[in-house]
Amino acid sequence: MKSMESIKKMNTKKSPSRKPVLLGKALCCLLCFLMTLSLLPACKGNNDVTSGAGVTDFPVTINGVTISSEPQGVAVLSPNLAEIVLALGYETKLKARCAECTTEELSPLPAVSAGDAQAIKDTGSTLVLADETLTEEQKETLSSSGLTVLIISSAKDREDLKRLYSQVGAALMGGATGYEKGERVANNVLITLDDIERVIPSSDTPVTACYLTDLNGGAITGDSIQSRIFESAGLVNVATDSKDGTISDESLKASNPNYIFCITGLKDTLMESDKYKDLTAVKEGQVYEMPYSYIAYQGRGMIRAATFMAGTAYPELLESDTLSSVPSSSSSASSGSGDPSDYTTLKSGDSGDAVMRLQERLAELGYFYVNPTGNYLDVTVQCVKDFQLLNGMATTGIADEETQALLFSDKAVPRNASSEG
């Protein structure tokens, strides 16, 4: 029998430590917790869409500003952002605009200023969309009145255009729905610009051009995404190496552009100016006015600008069913119903009366640039894409049943609905 002393010693021996086991469990729990957090992006910064679409629509955080619910109404204080809203098809969300937003589609809206917060609130707006031109003082005044103020900067390049459209979409319709539509519409704009470039005839001699906003060197310069429009139109922008919207007289004279595009109302003065009289474009009468809204902003006008410039610089395309200027006449195209089942899909390579009616209707709405031929060639593909883009549809270039139903309906959006007078 063991002595009491030995039993006592046995009882006093240390049992194996449980600390490593407990530590391992704690680390495992922490790892599981962190993994759970990573699977809950909606919890991150109130559905922040900085790096991609949100999981839910609202609340949504954009550029550090959280919008808790779908805006009851929106006041847009930037012409550029207004054009983006129109391109997205979200104009019904707008309750007010700034005086600089002269697009005809927005003319029924009351004009307000950043300095009159009460006037903005009286329109029923809860969200103010603005760009970098809004001062800190104006922003503070608007915010202190209870308005949510969101600053969205203009796009700097192609990829940034997707960011611009997605942020505007997310602000109006949510971090998932609005963001994804914005990205989709931006992609369609870029694809359409690329498609215009593809129909430009190849040439060993570059065709040079510029867009002037005044007689003091104001121009579309290479540090803006709008300079990309020249490439789509098959032109070389002579102000590519210039910055901040200004080209020097020396650079303009040295580059001696083949074509000069300018704002509406500037052509006659420019043609008579001694400063420009020796330029090739002036001597050959190749100076053309084009609405500033086409090229200044980053909405649907970019497509109009590229099409107008391409048709002007490459008149030979008129002979092969491609770009030209918008016809002034409006023929009475065959009317149709809004029922998709009444139409048969038309696509590249097709011909006949159905294609002729399609082209006539596109021309009536300002999308078709030459006399209808009844042949579904490159220009018809492009014009159908333009119609689809400006009417919020996928830009396939195929006139399927849904496209034709909308095209022949009263709801079809004309190409020049937002052009300047």
In angstroms, rounded to a whole number, what is the distance separating the alpha carbons of residues 299 and 309? 17
* Cα–Cα distance, 149 to 134 (Å, whole number): 10
Query: What tokens appear for 182 in the block?
Result: 């914005």
Q: Is 90 exceeded by the pLDDT of residue 194? A: no
Q: How far apart are CA 174 and CA 213, in angstroms?
A: 37
- Does some domain include residue 40? no
Domain count for the chain, please give it: 3
239 or 189, higher pLDDT: 239
Residues present in the chain in total: 421
Judged against a pLDDT cut of 60, whether residue 321 lies above it is answered with no
Please say if the pLDDT value at position 191 is more than 90. Answer: no
Burial of 150 (0-12, 13-18, 19+ CB in 10 A): buried
CATH number of the domain bearing residue 397: 1.10.101.10
Mean pLDDT is lowest, of 216-230, 320-334, 335-349, 364-378, for 320-334
Decide which of 195, 221, 250 is a domain's last residue: 195
Do 161 and 107 share a domain, yes or no? yes
C-alpha to C-alpha distance for 23 and 26, rounded to whole angstroms? 5
| Residue after which a domain boundary falls, among 313, 329, 344 | 313
Q: What is the pLDDT of residue 137?
A: 96
Distance CA 371, CA 346 (A): 18
Residues 236, 240, 242, 244, CA torsion sign: positive
> Quick one: 207 and 191 in the same domain?
no
Per the structure, the complete domain to which residue 356 belongs is given by 321-407
pLDDT attached to residue 342 = 78
Q: Is residue 118 part of a domain?
A: yes
Same domain? For 327 and 349 the reply is: yes
Q: Is residue 238 part of a domain?
A: yes
DSSP per-residue codes, 232-293:
HTT-EETTTT-BTTB--HHHHHHH--SEEEE-TT-HHHHHH-TTTTTSHHHHTT-EEE--HH
Please indicate, yes or no, if residue 11 is contained in any of the structural domains. no
Q: Is residue 16 part of a domain?
A: no
Give domain status of residue 3, yes or no: no
Residue 418 included in any domain: no
Q: Among residues of the chain, what percentage have pLDDT more than 90?
A: 58
Question: Which of these three, 195, 218, 248, is where a domain ends?
Answer: 195
Please provide the DSSP assignment of 22-61 as one string.
Answer: HHHHHHHHHHHHHHHHHT-GGGTTTTB-TTS--SSSSSEE
**Are 66 and 185 in the same domain?**
yes
Confidence (pLDDT) at 46: 77
Q: Say if residue 187 is in the same domain as residue 246.
A: no
- Helix H or strand E segment including 65: strand 65-67
Q: Tokens 């997707």 label which residue? A: 162
Look up residue 72 and give its two tokens. Answer: 């009851």
The CATH code of the domain that includes 214 is 3.40.50.1980
Determine the Cα–Cα distance for residues 171 and 231; give it in Å rounded to an integer. Answer: 31
> Is residue 35 one of the residues assigned to a domain?
no
Tokens matching residue 200: 């430009």
Structure tokens, 73: 């109404």
Q: Are residues 74 and 188 in the same domain?
A: yes
Which range among 59-73, 80-94, 194-208, 372-386 has the greatest average pLDDT? Answer: 59-73
* Nearest Cα to Cα of residue 189 among 69, 323, 302, 269: 302
- The verdict on 346 and 254 lying in the same domain is no
Q: What's at 379, amino acid-wise?
A: V
Q: Model confidence over 9-51: pLDDT tens digits?
A: 555 544 455 555 555 565 555 555 555 444 444 444 579 999 9
159-172 in b/e burial notation, b at 16+ Cβ within 10 A?
A: eebbbbbbbbbbbb
pTM to 2 decimal places: 0.71
